[in-house]
Structure 1
């Protein structure tokens, strides 16, 4: 279950209101209340409060004195690091998109070869999403060593979990008419897919891939701690030597890149998809005139192709490396099996519980902060369009800061442990949750809002009585998605001492205890899978 999935408008948004008081709906809301109680307990147990931040104020001042002035590397070196990072991220996203397309066809109703292929493809998507990219990076590091190919494969395979699911959902939502017409005319199955399905899903495919590009750029910082090159590795090397001036300077460059990539990808998405142009029926082959808009759109397509070609060179990806590594795949995977506990199973289970507590507390903090920010960023709720644009910009800025960088800062301020991890993930959750809340509020049926305004209701009354009730089920789904994401992220934040099971994962890989790495992976996978199954059930019940 993914962010773009929850953000996508449904075919009948007017019906998306609070569930009827059926037995299933009552059980679902009880489950939601139980999760809220657990998150509140975790929040209180971790002592996340203003006093904690105040107590760390002295550490914050000392940390600032050790980071200022920022120490940027020479321009040539900085540009080389940025280029390598962007090349790895682009190649990983392209790899995920190409792999996800056939998997999505097999996973979608109407295009799957049968029930067996559909279940198998969906299971593959779930597994790809549940396996942390850091674990994949550890595996590929054993095969390829340091370099860009490790990052491309680790980020690419993990991205299949999100991209494949969204692709499959897009395929399931297409109009079956063009496919039926092609089949009636004697077209093959491939012709049905190319001419009847692809033109309809291409806009969604492009939007999903560009969104994943933003995410992978932030993920690259995490993978730098396990040997993937670029800015992430430079940040990791600086922080390991306590060179905070260089480390934070490089982290600020990552932040700037994230914001720029998000803004540019949004512009490219609108240009490639022809935002604002009249929609033609799928399968239509009308050649539009060469207007300025079409020329600009063609230019973006050419620019995208050029960026992909340059990225292959910059990421140092070659077919020869893949062929050579294929011989070592079996022996490398054998190192990770069977799972082992290393005599520390109680500690692993305890740290898994800490990881879940961090995720629960962070999700609660993010939900509480994102609801007002998301409301102010929604065009139909904000008092003025300028206010909505301002808060949209705030959410973009927050979303641009990698959680690992936030974790490092909070570790310095509050000390090692779960508090730093919960604060980092809580702040990081605001960027994504706030955007999803704003999108959900903008998707509600405006007729109900207008009806209440016509009776003389105030802006607050309209929001509470008409807007919020319609968006409530979507908000619950967004929060559950964020909980799913935070469990995986909490695992990774342990790499920098922010609590949880991630420390044991990194330590086991460093001492070559790969069986313990597999055990940590299985424990994390079980926790993520339980949350995802709960989210699927709640989404099905509450959206009826």
Structure 2
């Protein structure tokens, strides 16, 4: 009986210690959150109170939405959609060879593994907006720099997820293929890619959704698309057109999300 009580007491003591550790972690995170709130001036009540009437005034100036220029927005909408599709396709094409080099179970050499991982980290670290600004300066305004910015930035994200999927695949089919005398390309094509293809397709479609939204932000740096129309309307204080454009963007994002979900169901089973 004493041994059971001692064991029970030890279990309670361990659980209490774990709860205390969790509580300390939560308090530390909350402390960081509150410090962040203070740094960004969220606790500046006077400034926040002054801003609320300005927001209400701005919203009133955005009503009713002005769709009079909608025929002129059709081409930018198509451009935005094309930029997201082309940028995602570029990212997939570049990510596939890089992910094979960045996965521990398919890379030919540790040095190549670290080089590939560094390339993925670099492309992922530079935001597409900064890439867009650099590429606009390099190749001029328009859809091309926006598409390239989306593609290059997406390489880092897609390549990382692809490589992690390859590393987590079931090793049994891979070992069986190698034992049967298959070459390394045959092992990759017949034993690895069939396992990770659903995950790759899933991540690709999610990235396409993200790229569609990001392509609108790139309009701020002159990279074309519907984002450029929004920035232009804001600059000339056409707030009713801005609200109409935001409604158009909302509808397009909903359509893209629905289409992405439909395509994802076809590939991910």
Aligned to 2:106: 111
Equivalence for 1:256: 251
Unaligned runs of 5+ in 1: 1-18, 276-544
Q: Give me the whole-angstrom Cα distance separating, in 2, the residues matched to 1:106 and 1:21.
A: 43
Structure 1 98/72 Cα, relative in aligned 2: closer, same or farther at 3 Å? same
Query: Residue 223 in 1 paired to residue 223 in 2?
Result: no
Give the Cα separation in 2 of the matches to 1:140 and 1:42.
33
Q: How far is the alpha carbon of 1:148 from its aligned partner?
A: 1.3
CA distance in 1 between counterparts of 2:24 and 2:133 reads: 40
Instruction: State the Cα distance separating 1:90 from its structure 2 match.
Output: 0.6
Cα deviation digits, residues 92-116 of structure 1 (max 9, x gap): 0111111111111111121111211
How far apart, in 2, do the equivalents of 1:30 and 1:116 lie?
40
The Cα shift of 1:47 comes to 3.0
Alpha-carbon distance in structure 1 between the residues aligned to 2:16 and 2:190: 41
Instruction: Show CA shifts across 1:108-165 (max 9, x none).
Output: 1211112111112112111111111122112211221111110111111111121111
Equivalent position of 1:520 in the other structure: none
The answer to whether the 8 A contact 2:80-2:216 is kept is no
How far off its partner does 1:194 sit?
Answer: 0.7
1:388-412 deviation per Cα after TM superposition (whole angstroms, max 9, x unaligned): xxxxxxxxxxxxxxxxxxxxxxxxx
SS in 2 for 1:222: helix
The corresponding residue for 1:266 is 261
Which sits farther off after the overlay, 211-220 or 246-255?
Answer: 246-255
* 1:40 aligned residue: 34
Is the contact made by 2:62 and 2:239 (CA closer than 8 Å) also made in structure 1? yes
Q: Is the CA contact (8 Å cut-off) linking 2:124 and 2:157 kept in structure 1? A: yes
- The whole-number CA distance in structure 2 between the counterparts of 1:93 and 1:55 is 42
Contact conserved, 2:63 with 2:243, CA < 8 A, in 1? Answer: no
- Give 3-state SS (helix, strand or coil) of 2:79's partner: helix
- Tell me the distance in 1 between the aligned counterparts of 2:141 and 2:109: 41
CA distance in 1, matches of 2:235, 2:65: 17
The alpha-carbon deviation at position 80 of structure 1 amounts to: 1.5
Counterpart for residue 414 of structure 1: none
Secondary structure of 1:112's match? coil
Partner of 1:95: 90
C-alpha distance after superposition, 1:465-505 (max 9, x if no partner): xxxxxxxxxxxxxxxxxxxxxxxxxxxxxxxxxxxxxxxxx
Q: CA deviation at 1:82?
A: 1.1
Q: Aligned pair in 2 of structure 1 residues 135, 44: CA closer, same or farther (>3 Å)?
A: closer
Q: Are 1:164 and 2:143 counterparts?
A: no
Largest Rg, 1 or 2: 2
The partner residue of 1:174 within 169, 174, 190 is 169
The number of residues matched between the two structures is 253
Cα RMSD (Å) of the superposition?
Answer: 2.5
Contact persistence 2:233–2:239 (CA under 8 A) = yes
Which residues of structure 2 form unaligned runs of 5+? 1-14
1:395-445 per-position Cα deviation (integer Å, ceiling 9, x unaligned): xxxxxxxxxxxxxxxxxxxxxxxxxxxxxxxxxxxxxxxxxxxxxxxxxxx
Corresponding residue number in structure 2 for 1:361: none
Structure 1 partner of 2:234: 239
Which whole-Å CA distance do the structure 2 matches of 1:55 and 1:135 have between them?
A: 32
Is 2:184 the partner of 1:189?
yes
In structure 2, the CA distance between the partners of 1:93 and 1:44, relative to structure 1 (3 Å rule), is same
TM-score normalised to structure 1 length: 0.44
Counterpart CA distance in 2 for 1:114 and 1:34 is 41
Q: Which residue of 1 aligns with 2:3?
A: none
